[in-house]
Amino acid sequence: MYKMQLLVCSGTGCRASASATIVEKLNESLKAHQLTEEAQVVTTGCFGFCEKGPIVKVIPDNTFYTQVKPEDAEEIVTEHILKGRKVSRLLYEDPENKEHIIDSKHMGFYQKQMRIALRNCGVIDPENIDEYIVRDGYSALAQVVTDLTPEQAIDMVKQSGLRGRGGAGFPTGLKWEITSKFSSDQKYVVCNADEGDPGAFMDRSILEGDPNSIIEAMAICGYCIGATKGLVYIRAEYPLAIKRLEIAIGQAREYGLLGNNIFGSKFSFDMELRYGAGAFVCGEETALIASMEGKRGEPRVKPPFPAESGYMHKPTNVNNVETFANVPVIFLKGPEWYSAIGTEKSKGTKVFALAGKINNVGLIEVPMGITLREIIYEIGGGIKNGKNFKAVQTGGPSGGCLTEAHLDTPIDFDSLVAAGSMMGSGGMIVMDEDDCMVSIAKFYLEFIVEESCGKCTPCRIGNKRMLEILEKITQGKGSMEDLDHLRNLAYVIKDTSLCGLGQSSPNPVLSTLENFYDEYVAHVKDKRCFAKQCKAMAKYTINPDVCTGCTICARNCPVDAITGEKREPHFIHQEICTHCGVCYQKCKFNAINVE
Amino acid sequence: MTKIKSLDDLRQKKQQLEQGMDIREKSDHPENLVQIKVAMATCGIASGARTVMNTLVEKMKKEKIAAVVTQTGCMGYCYAEPTVEVTKPGMDPVVFSYVDVKKAEEIVDKYILNNELLDGILPKNYQTI
């Protein structure tokens, strides 16, 4: 029996920082000190605290080591495991009072979180089905197939108030009910793991950290709607998630948890994977189904909805990864327990991928109804380098930017839409005073132009035109009419596109126009970018009082716009300068001013 | 691998596997469990703390008491090693001195199970912040 366990994160982020080598070194060191009987190394899924990875957590004392390097393994073993002394230099440091936090329970990052979909991430070994079983895995499935009728099970999901976590927030129980009503010789359960929002990685982390929960939930869904076949549509860019899912499916088959007559019932269910090529539009369910059938990933007109005619023209139920991850818990804890969490119309929790100018970049799960302020300042640890908060972008390329005025709005599906953004899949990108909102809108539009499938003219050409206008504005060549054009185009695209991608593609532009109109006007009228991001508008000058005449700027200027004698103040010739900003980056004395 | 054919099979499987995982479950709520800390600095280890700790882990398992047994650094009672601190839920910690295998078992039988105190209790002469 082990006295201690070392949980090492092996999500994609931490693995990229050599967590696999850390596991190796820890094992070597335990062996060298003859501790293999007493301590065990366990590889787990993502802890969410990606900012400070790789993470090694020691239990039972909940010691949370951050930014561990392979060469630290020996010290952790000799000091902590052998002598019981925590290695303080590796402990998490509170950003405010600079104190080392010895117990992860006291970290602000975890205190406000409530982990349902991520319940097993960072706790169990995702490549070992036994650990999932110990955490009550597959008992929800057993309960459903042996004790409940499909109608009863669907009712429980409806009562829980679970809504689809992929973006639109459609009630999951209702979706299952509709699919169950269509009769057919074959039906399908599809898991949408085509996560495409820039910066969002919750689906990947769930699949990497707890693949069995998705298998269990898909089987439950299959029982409810009368399907015997499950398909996971996953992008080929997620090799680790694919590998772990395949291992989990293999182990579930060996145990007879997938296959014929599950738990001795008449219900049979099996699953397969389908790989996507990483097209954003394939997150839309009809495009996803087309892609699975081997056709071009393009959406089609609804109705008929996939519930009636989906994959291979058979009734198909499509749910997102995070939605499925919530399902077993509803049966284990009961729908009342689940619906007690969250707000009136949005129940349960939501996983967000925190990114951008925030101290604790990572993956968090919070109850619906929490405020942006709590997320950004208490869990996220505030804005990097003590700068001022400017905006937070939610919902990816389909969402919008929220401002300081929205910081205290409780977050749920409906409040975000009311504020001009959306929940989306849960990307949350925080921006500070140095971010130019016009450039941000441009960034998302570039993504949309790249990812538009081209089926509908308004989306294919309209977004391209919008991007051109934004480029004009950021180069200081925009006019006030351009702003009107932008708005008109945006509404036309919204009204006339077929699928969700097109309909929501102008959101980043519309919400920044709404919330940061002054910034657009400054770009157009005064030819100024407050955030100094639009280089074409920047005027670079040298402050002669500070300049030491080191010549580094003149030597690096690609167009020879800077002249001056050694040890004498230099000068930038504005008529030659191309505003590239190299001199500003190279100057070691802060002598270059940007206006 | 044997197949899991019924809910009972699943429950049995779960019970068989639980031991390997239970320290992870327990570490979530240590305040509700008996917490035992064995001082294991150099002096503690030299006086046999490692065997004491192993005995405690085994004994608690045998008696089926939900407990978290951890090692800790030097508590400062170097003259009285090995030392063991026991905190029962809702009670003040008690530090036992000169703990050998026999005494470790006594601690479990007498103090943890029956609240009887033993000889050799060290006064708790420190405050933690």
**Which residues in chain A are contacts of B45 at CB distance < 8 A?**
82-83
How far from A262 is each of A15, A26, A184, A528, B7, CA to CA, in Å?
A: 35, 39, 21, 66, 10
- How far is residue A323 CA from its own chain's centroid? 14
- CA dist., res. A424 & res. A593, Å (int): 40
CB contact under 8 A, A3 and B26: no
Residue-level pLDDT at A73: 94
CB contact under 8 A, B23 and A59: yes
Q: Hey, which residues does A9 pair with through a beta bridge? A: A44
Tell whether B63 is within 8 A of chain A (Cβ): no
CB contact under 8 A, B23 and A5: yes
Pairing of strands A4-9, A39-44: parallel
Q: Does residue B129 surpass a pLDDT of 60?
A: no
Q: Does residue B64 surpass a pLDDT of 60?
A: yes
CB A269 within 8 A of CB A217: no
Q: Which of A5, A133, A135 sits opposite B10 (nearest CB)?
A: A133
Q: Which residues, other chains included, contact A254 with Cβ-Cβ below 8 Å and sequence gap of 6+?
A: B1, B3
Q: Name which of A35, A64, A91, A133 to mutate to probe chain B: the one with the most chain B Cβ atoms within 10 A of its Cβ.
A: A133
| Residue B75 belongs to some domain of the structure | yes
Decide which of 1.20.120.80, 3.40.449.10, 3.10.20.600, 3.40.50.2300 is the CATH code for A349-432: 3.10.20.600
What's the 3-state SS for A260-315?
CCHHHCCCCEEEEEEEECCCHHHHCHHHHHHHHCCCCCCCCCCCCCCCCCCHHHCC
Q: What percent of chain B shows pLDDT beyond 90?
A: 0
Identity (one letter) of the amino acid at A381? G
Residue A294: name the closest of A278, A311, A308, A319 by CA: A311
Question: Token pair 């969402």 is at which residue?
Answer: A399
Instruction: Report ipTM for this prediction.
Output: 0.77
Q: Hey, which residues does A391 pair with through a beta bridge? A: A403, A431
Residue-level pLDDT at B66: 79
Q: Which of B10, B20, B58 sits opposite A142 (nearest CB)?
A: B10
Residue-level pLDDT at A168: 81
Residue-level pLDDT at B125: 58
CB contact under 8 A, A142 and B7: yes
- CA dist., res. B90 & res. A254, Å (int): 46
How far from A404 is each of A389, A399, A422, CA to CA, in Å?
A: 7, 17, 16
The CATH code that applies to domain A538-594 is 3.30.70.20
Q: Name which of A6, A37, A44, A61 to mutate to probe chain B: the one with the most chain B Cβ atoms within 10 A of its Cβ.
A: A61
According to DSSP, residue A3 is labeled S
| Residue B99 belongs to some domain of the structure | yes
DSSP string, A371-413: BHHIIIIIIS-SBGGG--EEEEEESGGGSEEEEGGGTTSBPSH
Q: How many CB atoms lie within 10 A of CB A443?
A: 17
- CA dist., res. A470 & res. A207, Å (int): 38
CB A126 within 8 A of CB A208: yes
What's the 3-state SS for A306-373?
CCCCCHHHCCEEEEEHHHHHHHHHHHHHCHHHHHCCECCCCECEEEEEEEECECCCEEEEEECCCEHH
- CA dist., res. B89 & res. A49, Å (int): 31
Q: How many CB atoms lie within 10 A of CB A341?
A: 18
CB A369 within 8 A of CB A181: no
Residue-level pLDDT at B15: 84
Residue-level pLDDT at B124: 64
The dihedral sign for the CA sequence A362, A368, A372, A373: negative
CB contact under 8 A, A136 and B14: yes
For residue A549 the two structure tokens come to 């005449």
Q: Does residue B127 surpass a pLDDT of 80?
A: no
Q: Hey, is B121 helix, strand or coil?
A: strand
The CATH code that applies to domain A437-524 is 1.20.1440.230
Tell whether A555 is within 8 A of chain B (Cβ): no
Residue B94 confidence class, pLDDT cut points 50, 70, 90? confident
Q: Does residue B23 surpass a pLDDT of 80?
A: no
Residue-level pLDDT at A424: 85
CB contact under 8 A, A83 and B40: yes
CB contact under 8 A, B4 and A256: yes
Q: Does residue B128 surpass a pLDDT of 60?
A: no
**Residue extents of the structural domains in chain A:** 4-109, 129-338, 349-432, 437-524, 538-594
When divided into structural domains, chain B yields a total of 1
How far from B32 is each of A63, A102, A497, B29, B90, CA to CA, in Å?
A: 19, 19, 57, 6, 8
CB contact under 8 A, A62 and B13: no
Mean pLDDT by 10 residues, chain A (595 residues): 87 91 94 89 90 89 91 92 86 81 81 92 92 94 96 97 90 96 96 90 94 97 97 94 96 95 95 94 94 95 94 96 97 96 94 92 93 93 92 90 92 90 89 93 94 94 96 93 95 94 93 94 91 85 92 93 92 90 90 87
CB contact under 8 A, B39 and A84: yes
Q: Name which of B8, B18, B19, B23 to mutate to probe chain A: the one with the most chain A Cβ atoms within 10 A of its Cβ.
A: B23
Residue A121: name the closest of A50, A210, A201, A51 by CA: A210
Decide which of 3.40.50.11540, 3.40.190.170, 3.90.1150.10, 3.40.50.2300 is the CATH code for A129-338: 3.40.50.11540
CB contact under 8 A, B6 and A263: yes
For residue A467 the two structure tokens come to 């991007």
B61/chain A closest Cα distance in angstroms: 9
CB contact under 8 A, B45 and A83: yes
Residue-level pLDDT at B85: 87
Residue-level pLDDT at A1: 66
Q: Name which of A114, A125, A134 to mutate to probe chain B: the one with the most chain B Cβ atoms within 10 A of its Cβ.
A: A134
According to DSSP, residue A234 is labeled E
| Residue B14 belongs to some domain of the structure | no
Tell whether A128 is within 8 A of chain B (Cβ): no
- CA dist., res. A500 & res. A505, Å (int): 8
Element (DSSP H or E) covering residue A445: helix A437-451
Q: For residue A273, is it left (φ>0), alpha (ψ between -120 and 50) or beta?
A: beta
Identity (one letter) of the amino acid at A308? E
Q: Hey, which residues does B86 pair with through a beta bridge? A: B36, B94
Tell whether A257 is within 8 A of chain B (Cβ): yes
Q: Quick one: average pLDDT of B56-64?
A: 84
DSSP string, A170-210: -BHHHHHHHHHHS--S--EEEEEE---STT--HHHHHHHH-
Residue-level pLDDT at B126: 60
CB contact under 8 A, A83 and B73: yes
CB contact under 8 A, B5 and A264: yes
Tell whether B66 is within 8 A of chain A (Cβ): no
How far from A401 is each of A93, A138, A412, A430, A509, CA to CA, in Å?
A: 31, 40, 15, 9, 9
Domain A4-109 is found in CATH 2.102.10.10: no
Residue-level pLDDT at A196: 86
CATH number at residue B60: 3.40.30.10
Q: Give alpha helix (H) positions in A10-60.
A: 12-16, 19-32
Which long-range contacts link A555-560 to residues 24+ away (Cβ below 8 Å)? A556/A582, A556/A583, A556/A586, A557/A582, A557/A583, A558/A582
A143/chain B closest Cα distance in angstroms: 7
Residue B1 confidence class, pLDDT cut points 50, 70, 90? low
Tell whether A331 is within 8 A of chain B (Cβ): no
Q: B107 is in which domain, residue-wise?
A: 29-122
CB contact under 8 A, B10 and A138: yes
| Residue B2 belongs to some domain of the structure | no
Radius of gyration of chain B (CA): 17
Residue A593: name the closest of A556, A553, A559 by CA: A553
B95/chain A closest Cα distance in angstroms: 17
Compute the count of residue pairs across chains A and B with CB atoms less than 8 Å apart. Answer: 102
